[in-house]
Structure 1
């Protein structure tokens, strides 16, 4: 998405910039929602495809789909929570180490700040003023070291929010391909084809949503996500069909 100068000027006026930068950083839950949605749809439709390929009844496909939906959704949410928590603990550990280093060898830590900003083009008296200003407050000093030396962002992480977002996106999107199997009066082929269309629409929709958020080409993003989900479902179908042929599953 492109903007004209007239569109950008209001939000770049001094008062607007000051107000925007004074607000606390917002937690971006969209990556967790996209991850949960795609994985949920892949999980349940893979079960449906495998069951259909193996010749199982629609009831078996529904039971397996619901069981996998709940178990995998919980597992993925816990995994995302643990990953976010581990990242936060790592940031806290590095921050504590930097505070300790500042207490023990402040001149060495100042030299790190000096070299970091010299590499950015600062020099002479201006460089020394920057070093003095940043190292005058230990919190700002450590925050700068986290970002510049360790490439860590000390704010914006919420493990619980990440886990809940992943779980609900997984459950809501993942339940969609199972809807035809919850309807009575449809034969197995019709249920599978309806599930296939719904899953395809979910994959394509998630890809388009991702493109709107991150300003990427909509159709390309939609088809890319559809291709990834279709490949996973295809593998599940082939596996189920081969298992049926090799082991005589009924």
Structure 2
């Protein structure tokens, strides 16, 4: 059962988790590049988590639902004999992964709000925790698909890091627009 679940919903875990961490870190990096306050980062971070997480989940739901409908239409065709996934479960898996992994970059900003002593380290903590999240998601992917765990983890870390760097650069270039 567990192996079947992993095989069916691994794409949602990886997709939701990586995108959650990337987009949240991108929001943080863009805001930091624009020299916005930590309060704004928290607001944008939570808005991103809920809106983007929901958008990805519902998009995944509709995508898988379309596959199921196509499968029903072509049920006698050999190329459509794939094991069907449940649209609601795929959407839910995407959303949960997005929210949990996506909160990791934001965690240090929320903690710094309540624990001012870590305020000066919140960006570094966010980057380190997000890097660990990328390594975890990539490593899990590698383990489940029986590929080298280190390679998969580093690949995920590099892709996520590039996305965050791009967001920081855009925020830095456009920082004058923030007032």
TM, length-normalised to structure 1: 0.66
2:90 corresponds to:
162
SS in 2 for 1:29: helix
Partner Cα distance (1:153, 1:32) in 2:
21
Q: Within 5 Å, give how 1:49-198 maps onto structure 2.
A: 49-95=29-75, 142=76, 146-147=77-78, 151-183=79-111, 184-186=115-117, 189-198=120-129
Q: Name the CA distance, whole Å, in 2 between partners of 1:155 and 1:187.
A: 49
Residue in 1 that maps onto 2:145: 214
Distance 1:74 1:54 in 2: 26
Deviations 1:132-154 (A, max 9, x none): xxxxxxxxxx3xxx22xxx2235
Q: Which residue of 1 aligns with 2:174?
A: 243
Q: Structure 2: where are the runs of 5+ without partners?
A: none
- Count of residues paired in the alignment: 173
Give 5+ residue unaligned stretches, structure 1. Answer: 1-22, 96-141
Cα gap change, 1:44 to 1:186, in 2 (>3 Å): farther
Residues 176-218 of structure 1, C-alpha deviations (whole Å, 9 max, x = no match): 1111111231465511111000110000111111110011111
Among 15, 20, 26, the alignment partner of 1:35 is: 15
Structure 1 residues 244 and 189: alpha-carbon distance in aligned structure 2, compared to 1, 3 A threshold: farther
Return the structure number with greater helix share: 2
Runs of 4+ displaced beyond 4 Å: 186-189
CA distance in 1, matches of 2:143, 2:132: 16
Q: 1:52-88 CA distances to partner (integer Å, 9 max, x unpaired)?
A: 1100011110110000100000000000000000011
Q: Tell me if structure 2 keeps the 8 A contact 1:57–1:188.
A: no
Q: Is the 8 A contact 2:68 2:84 kept in 1?
A: no
Contact 1:26 1:156 survives alignment (8 Å): no
**RMSD of Structure 2 on Structure 1 (CA):** 1.8
When normalised by structure 2's length, the TM-score is 0.91
Q: Which has the larger radius of gyration?
A: 1
Query: Is residue 26 of structure 2 the alignment partner of residue 46 of structure 1?
Result: yes
